[in-house]
Amino acid sequence: MRPSPRALPSSFDISDAGRPDNHQPCERTGNLPWKDEQHQRPSTELFDINLNSVVFGQKLGIPHMKKHGDGPIVVLGSATSCISISSQPLYAASKHAVLGLARCTAHIGEAAESCIYISSVAPWLTLTSMVEGYPGDDSPGYPSKLAGRCGVGD
C-alpha cells in the first residue's frame, strides 16, 4: 500500500539527515490515454511522478529549509515546457505545470523571505531506453531551431 503524502513526514526520521538543499524528482513519459480502445479512467501516474512529486517535495522541503537558512531548490523540468511535442501531450502538460509551479513558488513570501531560491532546469531529450523509437528530427540545425524557440541560443 502506498503511503499518503500526509504520512510522509512521519514515515522516516530526518533529524540527522542534515540540511535539505535540493529536491529533484524522477520523471515519467506516457502514451496518449485517448488512443486506448478501452473506456477506462486514464492513469494519473505520469502527473503523480512529474508534478505531484514536485508539489509534495516543495511542501515538505520549504519548511525544513526555512529552519536552516537559505538555499536552492532545483526541480526537473523539460524542454517540452517551451516547445510542443505532439507525441507526448500529457508529458508536456506535466512539465509546463512544473515550470509554472517553480516560477510561482519562487515568489511566494514563505520561500522568498527565507532566501530559498527555486528554479527549474529544462534538459532536452536524453537518449535512454525511455525514448527509444521517439519520432525526433535529426536534420542539421534542428537542435538550434528548438533552442531558439525556447529563448536559448546565441
Question: What tens digit of pLDDT does each residue of 98-152 get?
Answer: 999 999 998 888 888 888 888 888 887 766 665 665 555 555 555 555 555 555 4
Q: pLDDT band at residue 44, thresholds of 50, 70 and 90?
A: confident
Whole-angstrom distance, CA of residue 7 vs CA of residue 143: 43
Question: 33 versus 60: which is more confidently predicted?
Answer: 60
Give the least confident one: 44-53, 55-64, 79-88. 79-88
Q: Are 58 and 119 in contact (CB under 8 A)?
A: no
47-127+141-147 falls under which CATH superfamily? Answer: NAD(P)-binding Rossmann-like Domain (3.40.50.720)
Coil, helix or strand for 119? strand
Higher pLDDT, 18 or 63: 63
Q: Average pLDDT over the chain, rounded to whole?
A: 72
**pLDDT band at 153, cuts 50/70/90?**
very low
Cα(3)–Cα(141) distance, integer angstroms: 47
- pLDDT exceeds 60 at position 8: no
- Decide: pTM greater than 0.75: no
Q: Using CA atoms, how far apart are residues 124 and 101, in angstroms rounded to an integer? A: 19
Per-residue pLDDT, averaged over 36-47, amounts to 73
